[in-house]
A and B are shown apart, each in its own frame.
Chain A
């Protein structure tokens, strides 16, 4: 059974600082997705990572995938308040639906 673990689950960070959210998974997979959820809203796709070494960047967010380590990271550069949200990673095991992590609730404070 595929297990997906995110850490930290809660993150409070100051504006302008850098931080990384980690997503570990338990079985072989080379497809991983990051989603963002704003309070009271739905999940919105952020990044699609489809191979080992894949790196995607948009604005202050950068996601990477290391399939050998079964690890994806979401790096936040110079955080701003607008990035406050919950971030989910989801892993595709190939023959089952996506398995979602529990989410990382990010709060960016001045």
Chain B
């Protein structure tokens, strides 16, 4: 298996623009997680899905953030409009049935200028 795939790997955008991050989980994994990592705040769980259904989005910082999982092999995290404080590395992770070891993607490094 190719592991968790994320795109793009790097994104540089201007404040106010819409940003869409993409994730393909490992085939057969029922859980998908979106994290944000910064030096100041560490690793933060933003939202997670079970069988494509959002279960807990309490970590989403504000309404500018939204996430979808239209099918078992694809998820998006959208920021609209983006702000400089959104600059971070965004990781997608997946895990098999039940809360178990998570497998992380390579991350997307987002820079908002």
- Chain A residues at the B interface, C-beta cutoff of 8 Å: 31, 33, 35, 41-45, 48, 88, 90, 92, 94-98, 100, 102-103
Q: Which of B18-62 contact A (CB under 8 A)?
A: 31, 33, 42-43, 45, 48, 56
Q: Count residues of chain B with CB under 8 A from any CB of chain A.
A: 18
Q: How many A-B residue pairs have CB under 8 A?
A: 39
The distance from the CB of A7 to the nearest CB of chain B, in whole angstroms, is 14
The majority secondary structure among interface residues of chain B is strand
Most chain A CB within a 10 A radius of its CB, from B33, B100, B102, B105: B102
Give Cα A12 to B42, complex, Å.
20
A96 CB to closest chain B CB, in angstroms? 7
Check B99 against A102 for contact (C-beta < 8 Å). Answer: no
Kindly list chain B residues whose C-beta atoms are within 8 Å of the C-beta of A33: 101-102
